[in-house]
Amino acid sequence: GNSVTQMEGPVTLSEEAFLTINCTYTATGYPSLFWYVQYPGEGLQLLLKATKADDKGSNKGFEATYRKETTSFHLEKGSVQVSDSAVYFCALSDPFGNEKLTFGTGTRLTIIP
């Protein structure tokens, strides 16, 4: 079945540091890949997505590239801010069914000033 493995947290970085959160997946076919973010006290929000191999999703300074050869979708940001503190979830959608999402366990990110 489909699965997503993401870097375990928590991750603590200083402001302006470089961020990478690793995500790898197992799936049959060609799923779409997503990063969702959950800020404290809020619901899940779509951060970025990529629907086919070599696509790069980007938003709010975050980027992730769909790498079919390594089955990865690592999240990166060049300079993090305190406001980026949140829980980040990597997810894939089932291409053979109803597009239901399979999520990783989440990575809690804390940025200290």
Q: Interface residues with another protein (CB under 8 A)?
A: 4, 32, 34, 36, 42-46, 49, 51, 89, 91, 93, 97-106
Comparison of 49 and 74: residue with beta carbon closer to another protein = 49
Q: From the CB of 52, what's the least distance to another protein, in Å?
A: 11
Using only the alpha carbons of the chain, give its radius of gyration. Answer: 14
Taking a C-beta distance cutoff of 8 angstroms, is the pair 29, 95 a contact?
yes
Q: How far is the CB of 109 from another protein (least distance, A)?
A: 15
Q: Which is nearer to another protein, 13 or 87 (CB)?
A: 87
Contact 19, 10 (CB under 8 A): no
| Nearest to another protein of 16, 99 (CB atom) | 99
Q: How far is the CB of 16 from another protein (least distance, A)?
A: 28
Nearest to 30 by CA among 94, 106, 99, 100: 94
Q: What is the dihedral of CA 25, 1, 29, 27, to 10 degrees?
A: 0
